Chain A
Amino acid sequence: MAGDMKISAALARRSAVIFPFLLLIVLLTLPAAGLSANMVRMLFLTAVWTITSLSWNLLGGFAGQVSFGFAVFYGLGAYSTALLMHAGVNPYVSFLGAAATAALASVVIGLPTFRLRGPYFAIATIGVTEAVRVVMNNLDITGGASGYRVTEPGPFRPLEHYYTAIAAVAFAVVVSIVISRSRFGLALRAIKQDEDAAADLGVNPYACKLRIHAVAAALTGIAGGIYARRAAFIHPGDVFAFQTGISILLMPVIGGIGTVWGAVLGGVTFGLVEQELVANFPQVHLLLYGSLLILIVLLEPNGLVGLLRRLFRRTRGDSGSQNADQVFWGRGGLEGRKL
């Protein structure tokens, strides 16, 4: 029995390393295997959502700071990319510009709101979204509320967009894993659990929050840029919508807050379900996610990852799967956490 557990733990550890690469290879070869154009579009959008889910998780999951305002970074990324590409800058360089703009905005938002503990940051982000959308709706150089056309010379290449998005997801996953295993990641977790204790141990909560906020914003900005380049037309009611911010928050919470693969799982699930539901029943879509959010908070704070973990535990030895979980899913959950 003990031997079995050891084997299953080792197996899980190895599969934890191999599985993402396998997934990546499948995703990269899928279009060559003759995927329909619509499927490529769906996977592209899902990938973009997954990037935002991963970045929200950096701030919300690792550091425990809930933000309703990631639409700001998404939208700023989209608009920066559009404006830079319009000026003739290479799209990939434009994405960097998008990341820089979003990171800058995150500092501007974070400087006053991270000064205080408690719900201030979370609520302020609702206001930021409203304020930025108002400004964008009235801004002349981006066409205000009527939107902005993203111009790129040459034919439309859906596969290039697709591969860009997949590469960005992979990048976001790597960034998340590197941060979660670093000293910085540990500091963030310490802040999430007890800010005073973290400060006593020499962590500067204010600086750490600002830094992770900037990283998360930069990644979200890139996602917005990738989206804008393919969409070719953006307007504030879309990229800066409060709904966008809500969606970005829902994904990692549904998947499993605080875990890298939970954020991925949440993003993929949300992305695929959203495509089907939002077109036909926009209200049912958010009603469903609202109910899911309530159920998750009350019954399974670890989200889908937590559910999977329970399934695994039922079929395998308890301590063995516990060990495997830690390797495969990382650690997370939101019960009783202070903001």
Chain B
Amino acid sequence: MTAVDYLNLLIAALLLAGIYAAMSVGMTVIYGVMKIVNLAHAGFLMLGAYFVYELFERFHIDPILGAVLALPVFFAFGMGVHWLLVRWLPKSDTPTLASLLLMFGLWLVLQNVGYLVWGNMDRSIFTPRTLSVQRFGEITIPTLGLIVFAAAVISLIVLQIVLNRTWFGRSIRALIQNPYAAQIVGVDDQKTARLTFGLGTAFAGFAGALLAMLFSFNPDFGRQFLLRAFVIIVLGGLESVSGVALGALILALVETFSILKLPAGYQPAISFALLVVVLVFMPKGIAGLLEKKWRVT
């Protein structure tokens, strides 16, 4: 291993962290506002992947444009899901058995509708961009990785602006911090919850679309990312966007550099091992350690 190899790995980890953050942030906002662990997130990721796939195969729409288009489509879809199913759940400050099972049922439905529609074959999106790389001296970076990273980072910055500058974003933050006080000052919690669910689903669809450019996928596509997303939001302290970014970076670093020591077959066990380590040693996540210094949401 030379210094250049390490640098290459480091860059690969950073690129991975971008998409990991985009994929986890939807789960975070939904958890923050509604205290629902959105297991159906995996299903939305999968649908996002097939969304760009279909657009690309049928209408030859560039996957990057497809990913952007996924945002409004999945926003509407998420709001529909909330209106149809989620709003009937009993309200609670902590995750309930009912909410966990409902979202799990929804995931099962989405996944198996996926199997019915697309079969269990692995699909992938192949464009001229897929195999191209950018060279900077001795450092090689896959073009697609760069594009996906840029898209993910831009989406996160936009989200952060929305959360900080708009009435909707402030409502979300208020509900995360103190649902009762938020309602007293006039935040409509049902409406905000519906919009938040839309937002979370939009990010899931978007991230699924981005992931589809990097990996092959099948209707069970979301599962491998569900646990990762959860590890990331636990690392990030469950409720903050900047925490998610940090969690994503840590998971990506651990996964990337573990290749040096562990056989690739054991990769799926890493996120679980990391989750256990976090649960045992820092139950509030990394953000929990920093929380008192920088209150971030």
Contacts and interface: CB of A to CB of B under 8 A. Distances in A.
Interface of A: 60, 64, 66, 68, 112-113, 115-120, 122-124, 126-128, 130-131, 134-135, 137-138, 242, 246, 249, 253, 257, 283-284, 286-287, 289-294, 296-298, 301, 334-339
Given A119-B95, A134-B269, A290 B112 contact: yes
Contacts of B37: 119, 122-123
Contacts of B108: 246, 286-287, 289-290, 293
Interface stretch (B56-64, B126-134, B272-280): B272-280
A66 B85 CA distance: 20
Contacts of A287: 108-109, 112-113, 116
Nearest to A115: B279
Given A131-B268, A287-B113, A338-B96, A293 B276 contact: no
Nearest to B234: A120
22 contacts: A112-B276, A112-B280, A123-B37, A124-B279, A126-B226, A127-B272, A134-B266, A134-B268, A242-B223, A287-B112, A289-B105, A290-B106, A290-B109, A290-B112, A291-B109, A293-B101, A296-B101, A298-B85, A335-B90, A336-B98, A337-B97, A339-B94
Contacts of A134: 265-269
A335 B227 contact: no
B77 interface: no
Given A115-B279, A286-B111, A338-B92, A138 B223 contact: no
B112 A124 contact: no
Interface of B: 37, 85, 88-90, 92, 94-98, 100-102, 104-109, 111-113, 115-116, 223-224, 226-227, 230-231, 234, 263, 265-269, 271-273, 275-276, 279-280, 283
Given A286-B108, A336-B98, 15 more contacts: A112-B280, A113-B279, A122-B37, A124-B276, A130-B227, A134-B265, A135-B269, A283-B112, A287-B112, A287-B113, A290-B106, A335-B98, A336-B90, A338-B94, A339-B100
A242 B104 CA distance: 13
Contacts of A298: 85, 88-89, 102
Given A112-B279, A120-B279, A334-B98, A294 B105 contact: yes
Nearest to B269: A131
A97 B113 CA distance: 40
Contact of A122 (B92, B100, B263): B100
Contact of A130 (B230, B272, B283): B272
Tell me which of A119, A122, A335, A336 has the highest count of chain B C-beta atoms within 10 A of its own C-beta.
A119
The 3 closest A-B pairs by CB, nearest first: A290-B108, A293-B105, A127-B272
Contacts of A116: 279, 283
Nearest to B230: A123
A245 to B, nearest CB: 11
B107 A290 contact: yes
A257 B268 CA distance: 31
A176 to B, nearest CB: 19
Contacts of B105: 289-294, 297
Contacts of B85: 294, 298
Given A117-B94, A287-B112, A138 B227 contact: no
Given A287-B113, A291-B109, A66 B263 contact: no
Contacts of A257: 97
A201 to B, nearest CB: 19
Contacts of A286: 108, 111-112
A119 B109 CA distance: 21
A66 B97 contact: yes
A318 to B, nearest CB: 24
Contacts of B111: 286, 290
A123 to B, nearest CB: 5
A64 B97 CA distance: 7
A134 to B, nearest CB: 5
B276 A297 contact: no
A137 B265 contact: yes
Contacts of B89: 297-298
A134 B279 CA distance: 22
Nearest to A124: B275
Given A122-B100, A290-B105, A294-B102, A339 B95 contact: yes
Given A118-B95, A297-B102, A334-B101, A130 B279 contact: no
B269 A66 contact: no
Contacts of A249: 104
A50 to B, nearest CB: 20
Contacts of B112: 283-284, 286-287, 290
A337 B98 contact: yes
